[in-house]
Amino acid sequence: MALGRVLLSLVLWLGLYNADALSLDLEGLKDQAVAQITGPKLMDIFDHLATYSSTTRPGITRLVFTHHDMEAREYIKGLMKEAGLTIREDVMGNTFGRWEGSDPKAGTVMSGSHSDTVKMGGPYDGALGAIGAIAALKFLRDVGFKPVKSMEAIMFTTEEASRYSVPCLGSQGMTGFLDPTVLDEYKDDNGSTFREAANAVGFTAATAKEYAEKALLKDPENIAAFVELHIEQGPHLEAEKKDIGIVEAIMAPALLRVEFTGRGGHGGGMPMSHRNDPALAASELALLNEKITLATGADESVSTFGLWNITPNFYNAVPRSVRVDIDIRDSDKERRDGIITQTLEGAEKIAKHRKCGYTGGVQWQYPIATSNKKILDAIQQSADALGASTKRMVSRPYHDAAFMAQIAPAAMIFVPSKDGLSHHPNEHTAPDDLARGVQTLALTLAQLAGSGGTSDKSEL
């Protein structure tokens, strides 16, 4: 038995494991994961984290760098310390909990997500991946796992666009995709910028450019793997009664901003024949965009007219201006860019037809992410060991993993969302599903980090 463990450790060390050897390793680890990573334990953590909110449950509001966000950060750093991790923070507030492996040159296996929320969101979006990574590493330490590669749990800063209208600022900064100008140009409801808010809570840099330069990972080539655990935020796993989603790609979003302007006037006094109503122009564009998106024939092509800014926004005044922000996503870049082009061309024609002023363009667009096969295989083997049913799928929402995938091997694990709801006060994932997700993550990270042996207290 002892000889078998030595040989298995050697095989893992060399990275030459096969499915049979791997299944032997996972069997004992699986039993301990099921026993120690439980729904009730995780729910205690999520329920406490939910108290750091400017709104009361069921809706949770925790915007980046607010008082409640800073309290949540301290709580999560406390969990990292309890897990025996060494903590560091970068200039943008990305927080890392590190566990050194036995081979400093073997690279680092990373996992994490975010803890900020949308306004009136739910308890698990982002938080599952941040808490789950810490819980997975704590479990592995507790059972005496000895990683060859170093391991890190990450809490990314402001994945949500809730405060500054730009998502994934922390991971953009880490991976070199951040346009520093957004840190000064995009403002919250109170008129403050990211740079001002970050400085106020102790994450300081003299300029936006300095933030971007200092946040950039200095040695991305040392990242051996990145895995993000997340709730699905969609209906497929629940509808198909699948336990675990294995995410093969992440759809790429783009944000269009279009503004139509007109003369306006009194809603009673201005005859219909004299109007050049920008609200009607925007409505016509919304219907045209729907036709354009549906015409692709692809279920992954989606467009959302989610933000309307109407001036004056009053029932008996003909609008003078309407600005719409349009979220366009697809798993195929060429197809997405085709929707963008046709939508902007259509907006210009509509403005001319309705005699409205018009400006429009792309605010930002992000790359599509494709998952790494080795990590996908590790997730599959972990889920199989747990007896969990799986579905290979595409992530429609965007995640920090999408930026990490541009610089390192990456993939995601999904667990079901009840009724497909997320970014919603009624967001819910069953405790058993939460636990199964963290169990799958723990087994996956163990495979990717490689075993250098276990302590005497472990049965492995």
pLDDT digits (tens, 9 = 90+) for 254-276: 999 999 999 999 999 999 999 99
Q: Tell me which of 330, 365, 400 is where a domain ends.
A: 365
d(C-alpha 183, C-alpha 292), whole Å: 33
Confidence band, pLDDT 50/70/90 cuts, at residue 2: very low
pLDDT greater than 80 at residue 186 = yes
Q: Is residue 193 assigned to a domain? A: no
Query: How many CA atoms does the CB half-sphere of 383 hold within 13 Å?
Result: 22
pLDDT tens profile 397-449: 999 999 999 999 999 999 999 999 999 999 999 999 999 999 999 999 999 99
Domain shared by 241 and 387, yes or no: yes
Residue 293 burial (CB < 10 Å; 0-12/13-18/19+)?
buried
Q: Tell me which of 340, 365, 390 is where a domain ends.
A: 365
What does the pLDDT read at residue 25? Answer: 72
Confidence band, pLDDT 50/70/90 cuts, at residue 457: very low
d(C-alpha 418, C-alpha 426), whole Å: 9
Q: What pTM did the predictor assign?
A: 0.87
Q: What is the dihedral of CA 387, 388, 389, 395, to 10 degrees?
A: -150
Query: How many CA atoms does the CB half-sphere of 375 hold within 13 Å?
Result: 29
pLDDT tens profile 327-339: 999 999 999 999 9
Q: What are 179's two structure tokens?
A: 């346009």
pLDDT greater than 90 at residue 232 = yes
Domain shared by 373 and 353, yes or no: no
pLDDT greater than 50 at residue 299 = yes
pLDDT greater than 80 at residue 374 = yes
How high does pLDDT run on average in the chain?
A: 93
Confidence band, pLDDT 50/70/90 cuts, at residue 453: low
Which residue would you say has higher pLDDT here, 440 or 456?
440
Residue-wise DSSP of 261-287: E---EETTTS-GGG---HHHHHHHHHH
Q: Tell me which of 313, 341, 365 is where a domain ends.
A: 365
pLDDT greater than 80 at residue 308 = yes
Residue 185 burial (CB < 10 Å; 0-12/13-18/19+)?
middle
Q: What are 214's two structure tokens?
A: 């200092």
Domain shared by 267 and 348, yes or no: yes
CATH number, domain of 345, equals: 3.30.70.360
Domain shared by 372 and 331, yes or no: no
Domain that holds residue 336: 252-365
Domain shared by 231 and 141, yes or no: yes
Q: In this structure, how many other beta carbons lie within 10 angstroms of the beta carbon of residue 325?
A: 16
Say if residues 223 and 110 touch (Cβ distance below 8 Å): yes
CATH number, domain of 417, equals: 3.40.630.10
pLDDT tens profile 108-151: 999 999 999 999 999 999 999 999 999 999 999 999 999 999 99
d(C-alpha 453, C-alpha 460), whole Å: 8
Angle at 143 between CA 223 and CA 231, to 5 degrees: 55
Mean pLDDT for the stretch of residues 57-80? 97
Residue 390 one-letter amino acid: T
Q: In this structure, how many other beta carbons lie within 10 angstroms of the beta carbon of residue 178?
A: 25
Total of domains in the chain: 2
Domain shared by 243 and 333, yes or no: no
Residue 405 one-letter amino acid: A
φ and ψ at 92, to 5 degrees? Answer: -95, 0
